[in-house]
Amino acid sequence: MGSNSSRIGDLPKNEYLKKLSGTESVSENDPFWNQLLSFSFPAPTSSTELKLLEEATISVCRSLVENNPRTGNLGALIKVFLSRTKELKLSAECQNHIFIWQTHNALFIICCLLKVFICEMSEEELQLHFTYEEKSPGSYSSDSEDLLEELLCCLMQLITDIPLLDITYEISVEAVSTMVVFLSCQLFHKEVLRQSISHKYLMRGRCLPYTSKLVKTLLYNFIRQEKPPPPGAHVLPQQSDSGGLLYGLASGVATGLWTVFTLGGVGSKAAAAPELSSPLANQSLLLLLVLANLTDAADAPNPYRQAIMSFKNTQDSSPFPSSNPHAFQINFNSLYMALCEQQTSDQATLLLYTLLHQNSNIRTYMLARTDMENLVLPILEILYHVEERNSHHVYMALIILLILTEDDGFNRSIHEVILKNITWYSERVLTEISLGSLLILVVIRTIQYNMTRTRDKYLHTNCLAALANMSAQFRSLHQYAAQRIISLFSLLSKKHNKVLEQATQSLRGSLSSNDVPLPDYAQDLNVIEEVIRMMLEIINSCLTNSLHHNPNLVYALLYKRDLFEQFRTHPSFQDIMQNIDLVITFFSSRLLQAGAELSVERVLEIIKQGVVALPKDRLKKRLSEYGLRYRSDTQKCNEGF
């Protein structure tokens, strides 16, 4: 490094890095720093190049780890950076490219070192390295100003206060990325941290007053999706569109972090790295999610989560609650539009889930929107392409649907939104369909995919819970949606018969052999019967509450009425089969009276006439408690997510 351009392969032999990590102390006023920070670095554009960078610099970093207690050079580097940031805003106003470029490079080196230090040592050792000073080699002063806290406060000020211009874009990205790397301590601990340095500095002390301002800035960075400056406007020589070296380094750290925070770090497949048009927006989102998912301190709740839970719309003039000092206002319309546009990334879906689950203001606002299809369609696309998504993304999309379907107004309104030409749905050409019917089709397809591939009971249960929440408000179901509901029941029925047959054969075999262990068919049978019962509840709820709105479902029910025969006398389903059996018997008799060789149109006409003739009091309502149970289960699921 230094005044000339550097290559990855040259870094271990670089004289400036050797001096930084060597045995000689360098004063923070030494001209050496100007030489060290005047470098142009070709940014790695792949994970392979990033790995090469780490391998090339590991010897330098370990040398600094060994020598820093005697030299205090890490502290000197940080002090050089801190002194420069005091003039950063003025430099941006004066268009001082060189000053901002060198300040960016200082932060770049700090972040690279910080990543290695966090990987190599405990938090206690890391804190000590920030206290070593040149004037007292090998020791530290407990009275000295806490350099680590000062660095974090400086980063927060840089993110929130420095105007976002072409010449400050890169250093803004690096500031956010450095905070992400700092928070990566959790990755190296199996237990959940509640007394980490992140709790010590970010949840109390000098950093605490910046809480709401930081969260608001990160949200607006996500909303605005500011692209990197064009060639020629960079402070640094033109780098790749992916946002620079540190973007790639910290993005990997952050992705691992929020993965661990959400679903335990196990996915069905790795998420493909999307092409990002705004590195600053992406890094800001990752930092926001990591901050929001920090555990509460032993003596205080997470203030960043409090800020996310309580912010309000800019059009809301009601006073802030005095109990929450971190509340603020943001433009809900802009946030909603950004969320609708960014759902291709799983971190944006996690943000949507977080806001819907934790912020009642944003949830109320979204449910009142008249263009909910802009939000729901991207979520349905995630579920539709389940085989291409990691399990985290699929689960989050499903939980979002569960939260939305807890609202009866949402369940009614989605059947009033008519969509045309859904091109991504390939099983059948859908020239015109309601959003509600499309939602049913996609959820049923997810269930069928799960039955044949992943066999995840959690996914099954929550897909059916979403359908159950909606079922009382089913309106004007598309004929294909009605067919798929009955087809899914048919599939479950066949599976039930197969498992029952296997259990019977196994029981017969056990009479002749006591040595062979038997498969647990009883458990399999209980699971499949529970799912069948849920499907019957969904059908029953629709017939009981909105029979007159759904002639296509009655038609599909009559067409496949033989499927339900075996469950009429089954002890597990007798109670719930009463209404379904009544509807089948009533309409079958009317069709029989109308004669044979009836056209589809004529059958539907008879069904519509019969709906008027069928006394409503003959159908017994029994799903009110069931609907409340699914709301309770959904809430429980959210709390454990």
Domain extent listing, the chain: 1-131+146-188
Q: Which residues pair with 432 in a beta bridge?
A: 420
Tell me which of 574 and 338 has the higher pLDDT: 338
**Would you give the end-to-end CA distance of the chain in angstroms?**
45
Average pLDDT of the chain? 83
Q: Is the pLDDT of residue 264 over 50?
A: no
Residue pair 410/372 in contact by the 8 Å Cβ criterion: yes
The rounded distance, in Å, linking the Cα atoms of 72 and 28 is 10
* Cα separation values, 87 from 79, 182, 223, 231, Å: 13, 24, 28, 25
The rounded distance, in Å, linking the Cα atoms of 576 and 582 is 11
Residue pair 400/352 in contact by the 8 Å Cβ criterion: yes
Burial of 13 (0-12, 13-18, 19+ CB in 10 A): exposed
Of the candidates 581, 486, 489, the one whose C-alpha atom is nearest the C-alpha of residue 531 is 489
What's the whole-number mean pLDDT along residues 26-30?
91
The rounded distance, in Å, linking the Cα atoms of 382 and 471 is 22
What's the whole-number mean pLDDT along residues 617-629?
55
HSE value, Cβ hemisphere, 13 Å, CA-based, for 415: 19
Q: Are strands 136-140 and 132-133 parallel, antiparallel or unpaired?
A: antiparallel
**pTM across the whole model:** 0.86
At CB < 8 A and 24+ separation, what contacts does 456-461 make? 456/391, 457/527, 458/395, 459/394, 459/395, 459/398, 460/531, 461/534, 461/633
- For 490-548, the pLDDT digits (tens) are 999 998 888 888 878 777 666 555 555 556 677 778 888 888 999 999 999 999 999 99
- For 190-234, the pLDDT digits (tens) are 777 767 777 788 888 899 999 999 999 999 999 999 998 876 555
In the prediction, which pLDDT does 1 show?
64
* Cα separation values, 391 from 450, 564, 620, Å: 11, 34, 39
Give 511's DSSP letter: H
